[in-house]
Structure 1
């Protein structure tokens, strides 16, 4: 039997909090129905790991944060992230609520909406209600239901038809109070032939106590639209990070996922593209560095329904000390998705005899006229490569670093955002203790 999640709130309290935030009746009703589901559904099942043995009970309670009066009031790590990122749009969530939100006048004049999801549910019901909890259903498992009941703050990004947003829109999700519920929900709707890049960072200081982050991302890509979604998670060791991401892509639309999993605590993520339309495309790049006694489980998925749809997923993970990683890639080509192409690669590099890695490429093909392929490898740093570099006068530590950067380079070099490339490079150095 799967251990059930202990609900962090009862229906009466949840209703009171929702009404206190003056949420629309349909939001309150959705929360209460989802809470009821959370009480009877099972936890999600992770490949080769028991999530019920993780710390997934430290949700905290809703605490509204004060609006930000100055960026100097942010912790140093969060303040660094907002430097030079305010031109297009910037949103900051601190613990349970949004403390800063701004979009450029030019984008607002074009009809682009970039605000927190709580505000959007009140002011743009006709745009939010048809999509919220539709890509990730509340009834999928106990955690998806609990998230649908308790989400807070979050992001709503709407790009009208034919609008191309040149500058990235950015969000910083900060948690620095372990007693505060932290469950952002990101909802993106890109109308036909639109273009947009969204970047977010999840960051925390030393929390001093355990925290469970239960987050969700839903992206809807309409005909011919292109969405680039980049996310970096760098939560502290006290935080257990569980994130579900899902994109629904229509005809000739494309979704590009760029994910840096740089947490110090146990982490599970599931990033899925549902390629409903003909000619739809998904490109996923995931890099991860595990350290200490971390347990991590990363799943990347592509489900092909449309003809001539294409998916590529590349995951590279480096495990040091006693970290354990399960890396899953799932390509599913449904009957009727003829001439589709699905490719995936998962590679894990272990830096310690006690580190563990497991790469699981899976192809599920229900159509004949398709192409698909996978590659996977798990291994330690090549001793001959280290010896070769040391013979050229390079220290062992530097030699290992060069090999690690070379291992991650095929993914990092493909990231089209220079600032994000530099950020991931510095985070890799931090995680490797350099």
Structure 2
């Protein structure tokens, strides 16, 4: 039985938690979130009428089938994996985690990779101190629903001074349009640790007429001197809605790198924010998106500077085709006392159709004098001079435009730290751009 948001509340949240035999502290947190969900309103992103989206039904708990090896995973998932790869991997299928692999050498160093539901039992202190503290249940109805309903999920803990060379893969997969699909990724990187996380969000919904709502969240906690690289590619069927909130909380000299390809086929709402608490912390965010059909996209990237000598850089590049619409917001906030902070951002949109729409909104909120901040934004069509130059070299107009578009998006595509996912992103681009 699916769960409509209009009737969801404290008792419904508690019933779901008890059905999974969760610990009392987590049941209480879900109850509180359920109560908030009944009272709060939807978020109000710029020029995006969420009330018209089908956000009312959250689905039903549909756990996937546990797998003993990658070969037992659904074909759509197994096909994404390199048979020779034996690195860290976790897979969520619909409402539950079905496979986890962590190399023995990483276990020996104290690295933990498990489902968030399991971590609630085995690593209670860490979860209680971090879960839903950077992305809080009280922000709006969708955050409260997420806190009440999250399932499966990813818990990654990297101890002090541990450096993980190979990327940690997280595949989040749904093939049941009526499933509750609410994964939460929690990364805790202790002091002077280093890790790359690669998230692959995908669906295979067939001809289902139901709407799948992905209401996902990522929280990254980078302790002093830690370096976290978080790469993600989202690609779901057009009958799905992608809601993704990402937060990184950075302590002294910590660094986060966001590398995200928003390749979803349906309506998309994403909000990614780096919170630079510690002195000398830094954030680098690179995003690309391609809109097709009549999809609506709201993409917000933000950095909030609290510490001294903090740095943030945000680059978003979007290509809109057919009748797609994108609202792209970049928000740099420098708080009082964050002296010597440096916040830069760039938003660029290419429109390949007269019906396509792109809106780039750079926003600087500065409460301190001794800082640097800047922005650049552009919305337009493929540069005619570049097309002419390539055509003068014997390249057709269509091929010239394609090369320019690929060059426009390459700064993000080339940064994906896992070859298989990078190749997948390139295939998606070829398909979406025709």
TM-score (norm 2): 0.95
Report whether the alignment pairs 1:135 with 2:126: no
Give the superposition deviation at 1:390: 3.3
- The aligned residue for residue 24 of structure 1 is 23
Distance 1:261 1:322 in 2: 17
Task: Answer yes or no: is the 8 Å Cα contact 1:314–1:411 preserved in 2.
Answer: no
Give the superposition deviation at 1:418: 4.3
Distance 1:8 1:321 in 2: 37
Distance 2:84 2:384 in 1: 42
Q: Deviations over 1:161-197 (max 9, x none)?
A: 1111111111100010011100001111111111111
Give the superposition deviation at 1:383: 3.5
- The aligned residue for residue 155 of structure 1 is 154
Aligned residue runs from structure 1 range 35-54, under 5 A: 35-54=34-53
Give the superposition deviation at 1:393: 3.1
- The aligned residue for residue 243 of structure 2 is 242
Q: Say which is worse superposed, 25-34 or 11-20, in terms of deviation.
A: 11-20
SS at match of 1:161: coil
- The aligned residue for residue 217 of structure 1 is 218
SS at match of 2:138: coil
Task: Answer yes or no: is the 8 Å Cα contact 2:12–2:34 preserved in 1.
Answer: no
- The aligned residue for residue 335 of structure 1 is 336
Distance 2:352 2:75 in 1: 30
- The aligned residue for residue 87 of structure 1 is 86
Structure 2 unaligned blocks of 5 or more: none
Distance 1:323 1:296 in 2: 8
Structure 1 unaligned blocks of 5 or more: none
Distance 2:143 2:237 in 1: 23
Aligned residue runs from structure 1 range 286-365, under 5 A: 286-365=287-366
Distance 2:69 2:419 in 1: 27
Distance 1:232 1:259 in 2: 6
Alignment length (residue pairs): 429
TM-score (norm 1): 0.95
- The aligned residue for residue 231 of structure 2 is 230
Distance 1:414 1:329 in 2: 20
Distance 1:266 1:75 in 2: 25
Closer, same or farther: CA 151–359 of 1 in aligned 2, 3 Å: same
Distance 1:183 1:411 in 2: 26
Task: Answer yes or no: is the 8 Å Cα contact 2:198–2:417 preserved in 1.
Answer: no
Give the superposition deviation at 1:12: 3.9
Runs of 4+ in 1 over 6 A off after TM superposition: none
